[in-house]
């Protein structure tokens, strides 16, 4: 196995071709490995076979170049896994309605692997999960099938660190944590990932690797919640939180800059802390920090809707019946990723309050609402912004001309402080998050 990895003679299979799996599979192809992409969604596979990528970080041209090498085989049939020497699992790990881990996708992947895997195989899990998953859900099924750990079966956990839309850090140059279930698995994991990733960070167990992923994103969740709470406090004290943050950021040590916003999104930050909290409870440990951070962050979309109502009230309008435009629906700038986006939560709450809601997002032009109906972005026509009672900047993509938005919109709620210092004389904005209020003479 080691020789196959070093000589790039191993065939690599990636299960799950989403934001994590597709870029990883492409990386293996580009580094000279015969690669299999397996996804249970037949339509997804058909689209990829046709050279059409739905992942912003992988262009159609990049995908087609990989297909043209004949080193990239795509399939929706699990039988193809029998060809693989190494199998990497990149499937979703959502939370249930009870905020508990949903391991069904990992279990399904392991059912396929244990049924079709070769007599000798390396398996790596990348999906976000709780400490102990690799031993419990990856090793146990294979050992039950008669495999022997460290001899003909090897298992690692290597957490994904994908940041959709990040042009600086992508699959190849983002350091990769690798933790093996045993010493040989760790060594093989280091060798395999070291063939495609610039920097490998080996750790001494799968559990350390699993915990590191949760620690990274719980750290971010707690700090985002803290700055969101500080924004709400500053609002009560009539202090500009944005200027306060810039002042604090001038300290060259001991301070890390976080900024407030309408909430958190993506697959990791909203979910990972709850995986850790759930696992902690099984050890009779209760993390108040995690729970409080989760509560604060998930209340922010509702706070923004309250601000929208206040902005309209200042102009003698009710939120019920008002035309409201949400600008940017993806959870982060310059991405098409809508997972857990605060914009989606704002949309639903505004609709429930009776608003006539539209959205504009060229990066993420469609989504399904809570009733399952497909919603479509309006065209990016700045003159049309004048037709709305309120324009809410949720995600300020680079594609947007913020000055035109500020010029054309009669009333704006700017949740990201995107229009700072852009307009000084115009009656254009209200947003308690950034401490600017409308007056007849301008912004104060």
Contact by Cβ (8 Å): 150, 141? no
Q: Give the burial class of 56: count Cβ atoms within 10 A of its Cβ; 0-12 exposed, 13-18 middle, 19 or more buried.
A: middle
| Distance from C-alpha of 329 to C-alpha of 326, rounded to nearest angstrom | 7
CB proximity list for 175: less than 8 A, separation 6 or greater: 161, 197, 198, 199, 200, 201
Could you confirm whether 268 is annotated as catalytic?
yes
Structure-block tokens of residue 106: 């990992």
| Distance from C-alpha of 340 to C-alpha of 292, rounded to nearest angstrom | 18
Contact by Cβ (8 Å): 102, 95? yes
Count other Cβ atoms within 10 Å, centred on residue 175.
Answer: 11
| Distance from C-alpha of 142 to C-alpha of 137, rounded to nearest angstrom | 9
| Distance from C-alpha of 194 to C-alpha of 177, rounded to nearest angstrom | 11
* Dihedral angle sign, alpha carbons of residues 246, 250, 251, 255: positive
CB proximity list for 188: less than 8 A, separation 6 or greater: 1, 2, 5, 122, 154, 156, 180
The torsion of the CA quartet 235, 238, 239, 241, rounded to 10 degrees, works out to 20
* Dihedral angle sign, alpha carbons of residues 201, 202, 204, 206: positive
CB proximity list for 355: less than 8 A, separation 6 or greater: 308, 319, 320, 321, 322, 323, 324
User: Which of the following is catalytic: 66, 90, 156, 268?
Assistant: 268
Structure-block tokens of residue 338: 């809508």
Angle 7-198-169 from CA coordinates, rounded to 5°: 140
Closest CA to 308 of 431, 438, 423, 416: 431
Which residues have a catalytic role annotated? 268
């Amino acid at each position: 196995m080691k020789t196959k990895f070093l000589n790039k003679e191993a065939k690599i299979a990636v299960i799950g071709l989403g934001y994590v799996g597709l870029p990883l599979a492409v990386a293996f192809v580009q580094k000279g490995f015969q690669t299999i992409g397996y996804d249970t969604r037949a339509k997804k596979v058909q689209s990829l076979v046709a050279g059409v990528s739905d992942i912003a970080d992988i262009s159609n041209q990049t995908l087609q170049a990989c297909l043209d090498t004949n080193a990239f085989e795509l399939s929706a049939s699990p039988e193809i896994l029998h060809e693989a020497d190494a199998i990497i699992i990149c499937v979703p790990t959502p939370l249930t309605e009870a905020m508990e881990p949903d391991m069904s996708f990992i279990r399904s992947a392991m059912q396929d692997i244990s049924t079709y895997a070769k007599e000798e195989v390396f398996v790596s899990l990348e999906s976000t999960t709780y400490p102990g998953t690799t031993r419990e859900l990856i090793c146990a099924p294979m050992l039950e099938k008669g495999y022997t750990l460290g001899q003909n079966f090897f298992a690692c956990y290597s957490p994904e660190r994908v940041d959709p839309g990040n042009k600086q850090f992508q699959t190849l140059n983002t350091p990769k944590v690798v933790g093996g279930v045993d010493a040989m698995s760790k060594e093989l994991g280091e060798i395999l990932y070291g063939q495609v990733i610039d920097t490998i960070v080996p750790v001494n167990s799968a559990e350390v690797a699993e915990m590191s992923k949760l620690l990274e994103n719980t750290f971010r969740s707690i700090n985002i919640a803290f700055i969101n709470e500080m924004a709400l406090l500053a609002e009560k004290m009539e202090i500009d939180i944005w200027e306060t943050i810039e002042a604090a950021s001038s300290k060259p040590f001991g301070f890390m800059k976080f900024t407030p916003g309408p909430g958190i999104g993506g697959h990791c930050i909203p979910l990972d802390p709850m995986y850790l909290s759930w696992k902690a409870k099984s050890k009779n440990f209760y993390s108040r920090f995690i729970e409080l951070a989760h509560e604060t962050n998930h209340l922010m979309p509702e706070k923004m809707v309250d601000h929208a109502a206040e902005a309209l009230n200042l102009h003698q309008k009710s939120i019920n019946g008002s035309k409201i435009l949400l600008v940017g629906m993806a959870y982060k700038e310059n991405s098409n990723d809508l997972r857990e986006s605060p914009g989606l939560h704002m949309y639903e709450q505004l609709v429930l309050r009776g608003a006539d809601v539209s959205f504009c997002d060229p990066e993420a032009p469609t989504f399904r609402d809570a009733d399952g109906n497909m919603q479509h972005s309006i065209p990016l026509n700045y003159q049309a912004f004048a037709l709305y009672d309120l324009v809410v900047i949720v995600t300020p993509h680079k594609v947007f001309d913020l000055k035109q938005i500020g010029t054309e919109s009669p009333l704006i709620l700017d949740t990201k402080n995107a229009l700072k210092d852009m307009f000084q004389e115009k009656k254009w904005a209200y947003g308690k998050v950034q401490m600017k209020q409308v007056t007849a003479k301008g912004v104060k």
